[in-house]
Amino acid sequence: MSLEVKNIVKRYGEKTVVNNLSFEMKEPGVYALLGTNGAGKTTTIRIMLGMLSKDSGEVLWNGKPLDILSNNVGYLAEERGLYPKYSLMDQLLYFAKLKNVPKEEAKKRIKYWSGRLQVDEYIYPKATKKNPKRNAMNADQLSKGNQQKIQLMAALISDPDIIVLDEPLSGLDPVNADLFKTIIREEIEKKKYLIMSSHQMPTIEEFCSDITILNRGNAVLQGNLNEIKKSYGRVNMNVRCEDDISKYIERFEFEQVTVTAEDYQIKVKNENQAMEFLKELVNAGVRLIKFELREPSLHEIFVEKVGSVHEE
């Protein structure tokens, strides 16, 4: 199985919002679409799902056009997508019916996911004086985080082959964010194909092997995340010490130096420059607490790529 996006173009008048975008998933895993607000991530996702038309290009699943009516696709949108005045149970059964899940099977899956996501009390409420018939709650009675849980249930209820997650951790507290992460890991273990869009770079680093960074509709960086990091080399140096080392930093004329409350974050030309700096500090008797040389984080790569485009 494979998922392929080929030369997607989307224009609104003279403005191109997605410009000849291509990427491919040849095996199960998580592919990340990254970018600033308005970069084209959500537009790309909606084109993939057939929610928006495209000016050119194609989206293929196993070599054939992806069709959400015939292919099993789950979608968690960034914006709220529930009907506010209908009961949660009715909505979930409706979404399951749209995905051709038999009603009795849908009820079993709703029961499972309501337990996993800790929303039993909203879907299967206990009888009270105000609610003697134990009616399931409506969507507008839930917090933003709990609505997100219901939407994840709707996305997963058909046991989809392809799962599209647009800002999946939006509005979640740390406990529920960890719960969502656990479920995402389980779907990965089931060999699902996941497309994830997020502004939370640590989450992307945790799950995604391959990425595309978009800016103004253009792909400014694509590829395997580990290989991208290695291509930069270990050029990020963190130094924490008990002494003032500003005179040594000035002497080396580093490209970039950020001083925080705890340490110095320094961009070096290469590992040799970092080792020479360390040697000088040691010879000068500087009391070092921490010395770290590492590859850049995804956050740092993202800011470099997107920032440089904005400056042009």
pLDDT digits (tens, 9 = 90+) for 98-140: 999 999 999 999 999 999 999 998 998 775 666 556 667 888 8
Tell me how far apart the terminal alpha carbons of the chain are, to the nearest angstrom: 40
Count how many Cα atoms sit within 13 Å of the Cα of residue 58 in the half-sphere of its side chain.
7
Average pLDDT (236-252) is 91
Instruction: Record the tokens describing residue 125, joined without a space.
Output: 């409420």
Please report which confidence band the pLDDT of residue 4 belongs to, taking 50, 70 and 90 as the band edges.
Answer: very high
Per-residue pLDDT band at 78 (split at 50, 70, 90): confident
Q: What is the pLDDT of residues 193-204, one digit of tens each?
A: 999 998 889 999
Token pair of 193 as six digits: 């194909």
Q: What is the pLDDT of residue 239?
A: 94
- Identify the bridge partners of residue 138 per DSSP, sorted by sequence position: 87
Percentage, residues of the chain above pLDDT 90: 73
**Beta-bridge mates of residue 203:** none
Pairing mode, strands 15-25 and 3-12: antiparallel
Q: Give the 3-state secondary structure percentages of the chain, helix then strand then coil, rounded to 5.
A: 40, 30, 35
pLDDT confidence of residue 310: 47
pLDDT the model gives residue 177: 94
Q: Reply yes or no on whether the pLDDT at 59 is more than 50.
A: yes
Question: Span 169-192, mean pLDDT?
Answer: 94
Please report, as a single letter, which amino acid is at residue 194: L
Those residues whose C-beta lies under 8 Å from the C-beta of residue 212, and which sit 6 or more positions away, are 21, 23, 31, 32, 33, 34, 219, 221, 222
Q: Is the pLDDT of residue 240 over 70?
A: yes
**What is the pTM assigned to this prediction?**
0.85
Q: Higher-confidence residue: 170 or 277?
A: 277
The least confident of 190-194, 257-261, 271-275 is 257-261
pLDDT of residue 308: 54
pLDDT of residue 129: 62
Mean of per-residue pLDDT scores for the chain: 91
What per-residue confidence (pLDDT) applies to 79?
83
Residue 90 has pLDDT above 60, yes or no: yes
Work out the average pLDDT over 202-210: 92
**Residue 277, CA distances (Å) to 75, 243, 253, 292, 297 in order:** 50, 15, 11, 12, 22
* Residue 97 near residue 106 (C-beta atoms within 8 A): yes
Q: Which residues contact 152 (CB under 8 A, 6 or more apart)?
A: 76, 113, 117, 168, 180, 183
8 Å CB contact between 184 and 116:
no
% of the chain at pLDDT higher than 70: 96
Across 110-114, 175-179, 224-228, 253-257, least confident range: 253-257
Q: For 19-33, 48-62, 113-127, 178-192, which range has the lowest pLDDT when averaged over its residues?
A: 113-127
The sign one gets for the Cα dihedral 26, 154, 79, 179 is negative
Phi/psi for 214 (5° steps) reads -105, 145
Q: What is the mean pLDDT of the segment spanning 205-221?
A: 94
Give the pLDDT mean for 147-167.
95
* Bridge partners for 30 per DSSP: 194
Q: What is the pLDDT of residue 312?
A: 41
Sole residue written with tokens 């930093």: 249
Cα(27)–Cα(77) distance, integer angstroms: 23
Look at residue 128 in the predicted model and tell me its pLDDT: 61
Dihedral, 106, 111, 113, 119 alpha carbons, nearest 10: 130
Residue 259's CB is within 10 A of a number of other CB atoms, namely 11
